[in-house]
Amino acid sequence: MKFTKIAVTFFISMLIFCGCSKKSDVVLKINDTQITKAEFDSDYNKIKNAQLKFVPKQYQNDKSYVALSIKDKFTNDLIVRELLKQEFDRRKIEASQDEINAKKDAIIKQVGSVEKFNNLLKENDISEQKLNSDLAQDVRMEKLLEMLDYKKISDKDVENYYKQNKNQFVMPERVRVSHILVDTNYETIKRKITDDDKEAKLSTEEIDKMAKEQVKKNEDLIKSLKEQADKNPSKFASLAKENSIDTASAQNGGDLGYVAKSDVVKEFGDMAFSMKVGTISPIVKTQYGSHIIYLKDKSKGGVQTLAEIKPELKLYLEKKSKLDALQKLIEGLKENATIVYVDENLSPENIKKQIEQALPKQKENEQTQGAPKSKLKAIEKANQEK
């Protein structure tokens, strides 16, 4: 089992755009807090649009099964966020400016630079004031978690969990790889040009021509990077930092860490697992663009020992214990709250009915148009996890 850190403020980061004030045209009441239609629509549309851009066009409308599922989860998360905010106030949990700044510095370090951090805020339309508000909520959440009555995890708890779940610690064969990714996908390049043309000044022919020219330019770039990497492999990390569009790995010189074959797309995995350590691959094309892969190490599969995973496993169990206590608190807050769906279309019962009505149409579209289901299922799964 490959453990990852559990984000204790997962729902806050998912709702980073959400902010609620008291105005007219109320659609939802959560105890004494009122949410207006303008506020709801603005925040919901940002999240909806961010998710729907990854699904086929026939699902990119407000009455689709996918959009309704997103709305259902968004409404629930908004209520949870507001109830927790009220709980912070009730417990007098505050966040100091120093604590907020520490959070901000940690994000800047993770992103790689202040410039990249500011660009990220700009791309997501997040103001400095909104950022500080959300970081304050993060701090308050962490303090609330420490106040909850959660089970403390002992070394014996870790050992027992390991013994009872050994099958979860079977690791497949893995490879450690770095890569450089350049976008040579005509469709994604064309979409970006279209999105940037906000005033629609470009004709279809002009957009097509610009996209083809950019594809050619990017193909020449990946070929040049391949030649440079072959000539001097020690420069691979710097080439990745300067050129890879996979920004998350680029800041680490393209390093993806250890990955199993099932963690990556087929073309990438087939190439990476056929290479010898210390070699650089030919150009590999996937749905994301063109890659150059540098194989750094191979690791045989097998059962991880308790000693190998104990620190990470203990951290996982501690955070799980806190989140279980948090979920119990949230259920209690919702049970005792006065929640009024002024707009009845937002009630869970009505959204469920709309989803049931939209589902047959979605299935029909998938059968007649051969729509890819993987991303739809991923969004559906995320929206069902509340």
Instruction: Tell me the pLDDT tens digit for each residue of 132-171.
Output: 998 999 999 999 999 999 999 999 999 999 999 999 999 8
Contact 60, 375 (CB under 8 A): no
Write down the pTM of the prediction. Answer: 0.65
Mention every residue, 6+ apart, whose C-beta is less than 8 A from residue 80: 11, 330, 334
Band of pLDDT at residue 364, cut at 50, 70 and 90: low
Contact 280, 294 (CB under 8 A): yes
Tokens standing for residue 323:
């989140």
**Does the pLDDT value for residue 18 go beyond 50?**
no
**Residue 306 vs residues 4, 152, 158, 252, 259: alpha-carbon distances, Å:** 16, 19, 9, 29, 21
Mean pLDDT of 366-379: 51
Q: How far apart are CA 116 and CA 15, in angstroms?
A: 21
Q: How far apart are CA 221 and CA 216, in angstroms?
A: 9
| Residue extents of the structural domains in the chain | 10-92+309-384, 173-300
Q: How far apart are CA 370 and CA 374, in angstroms?
A: 12
Average pLDDT of the chain is 87
**Residue 97 vs residues 56, 132, 143, 238: alpha-carbon distances, Å:** 43, 9, 15, 36
Residue 336, pLDDT score: 96
Q: List pLDDT tens digits, range 1-11.
A: 444 333 334 44
Q: How far apart are CA 161 and CA 157, in angstroms?
A: 6
Residue 218: name the closest of 245, 241, 191, 239 by CA. Answer: 245
What sign has the CA pseudo-torsion 206, 212, 218, 221? Answer: negative
Q: Which of 26-30, 107-111, 254-258 has the lowest mean pLDDT?
A: 107-111
Residue 11 exposed, middle or buried by CB count within 10 Å (0-12, 13-18, 19+): buried
Amino acid identity at 130: K
Band of pLDDT at residue 127, cut at 50, 70 and 90: confident
Q: How far apart are CA 310 and CA 163, in angstroms?
A: 12
Task: Phi first, then psi: give them for residue 347, nearest 5 degrees.
Answer: -70, 145
Band of pLDDT at residue 289, cut at 50, 70 and 90: very high
Residue 239, pLDDT score: 96
CATH code: domain 173-300 is 3.10.50.40
Q: How far apart are CA 183 and CA 245, in angstroms?
A: 7
Residue 90, pLDDT score: 96
Contact 310, 303 (CB under 8 A): no
Q: List pLDDT tens digits, range 207-241.
A: 999 999 999 999 999 999 999 999 999 999 999 99
SS3 302: strand
Share of the chain above pLDDT 90, in %: 67
Residue 95 exposed, middle or buried by CB count within 10 Å (0-12, 13-18, 19+): buried
Alpha helix segments (H runs only) across 92-235: 97-111, 114-123, 128-147, 155-164, 186-196, 204-231
Residue 125, pLDDT score: 77
Mean pLDDT of 285-292: 95
Residue 54, pLDDT score: 73
Residue 386, pLDDT score: 46
**Does the pLDDT value for residue 308 go beyond 50?**
yes
**Does the pLDDT value for residue 15 go beyond 90?**
no
